A and B are shown apart, each in its own frame.
Chain A
């Protein structure tokens, strides 16, 4: 019974490049959340998606960041033209909720550590 999977676990990019982070939710889970954890800080919500829909992207920076959760395949968090300040751990979580995001426990993946040189 695999948990939430994220890849890559570590990603190094130079300024200006694109970063693509993948998240496969737990089997049976249809809700995906992305969080960012800056060094020595707590987690900050970025975006909440269901299959083919963005439900809440209030935590996403307005530029350069996008997320999707297609009908088939993993959820993707895409960061275009990365800058040093994007260096962080990006966590994905999933839940099986059908009636409200807050009702269900979110199970987290191991995270992707992005380093921008």
Chain B
């Protein structure tokens, strides 16, 4: 069975600090996909990134970066120089090939001015 754990329920940082959101997953499949979504206070879900299991290259997009480590089954998300607008709940999700799509419980990030 697939499972996604986001051990950090809530994180508070001061603006301009860097922050890393942890995501640990479990799956028996060799082919799978990992995602991060952002849910701002307005409630919608915003797609951030998708990574397949064969691509362990880290990715950087502006202030966002993702560290995929198959050896530890982790797909961590780092925000550099955080801003107040980054305040949201962030969900990590796992999808196996053609089957389940499982979300973690989310991490609530508060960035204080």
Contacts from A to B (Cβ < 8 Å): 33, 35, 41-45, 48, 56, 89, 91, 93, 99-103, 105-111, 113
B interface bracket (residues with beta carbon within 8 Å of A)? 20 to 34
Q: Chain B: residues with CB nearer than 8 A to chain A?
A: 32-33, 35, 37, 43-47, 50, 91, 95-106
The distance from the CB of A28 to the nearest CB of chain B, in whole angstroms, is 16
Contact B105 A111 (CB under 8 A): no
The 8 closest A-B pairs by CB, nearest first: A100-B98, A102-B95, A108-B45, A42-B105, A43-B103, A110-B44, A42-B103, A42-B106
User: Measured between C-beta atoms, what is the minimum distance from B36 to chain A in Å?
Assistant: 11
Taking a contact as CB atoms under 8 Å apart, the answer to whether A102 and B45 are in contact is no
Residues of chain A contacted by B103 (CB below 8 angstroms): 35, 42-45
Determine the chain B residues whose CB is within 8 A of the CB of A41 once the complex forms: 105-106
Q: Is the CB of A102 within 8 A of B91?
A: no
Q: Are A108 and B37 in contact (CB under 8 A)?
A: yes
Alpha-carbon separation in the docked complex, A100 to B33 (Å): 12
The reply to whether A108 and B91 form a contact with Cβ atoms under 8 Å apart is: no
Listed A/B pairs (17) with beta-carbon separation below 8 Å: A35-B103, A41-B106, A43-B103, A44-B103, A45-B101, A45-B102, A93-B45, A99-B98, A101-B99, A102-B32, A102-B96, A102-B101, A103-B33, A103-B97, A108-B45, A111-B44, A111-B45
Specify which chain B residues have a CB less than 8 angstroms from the CB of A109 in the assembled complex. 44
Bound Cα distance A35, B33 (Å):
18
CB neighbours of B97 from chain A (8 A): 100, 102-103
Query: How far, in Å, is A115 (CB) from chain B's closest CB?
Result: 14
CB distance from A22 to the nearest CB of B (A): 16
Q: Across the two chains, which residue of chain A brings its CB closest to B105?
A: A42
For the complex, give the distance between the alpha carbons of A41 and B102 in Å.
13
Question: Closest residue to B44 on the A side, CB-wise?
Answer: A110
The residue that B91 contacts in the complex, of A43, A110, A113, with Cβ under 8 A, is A43
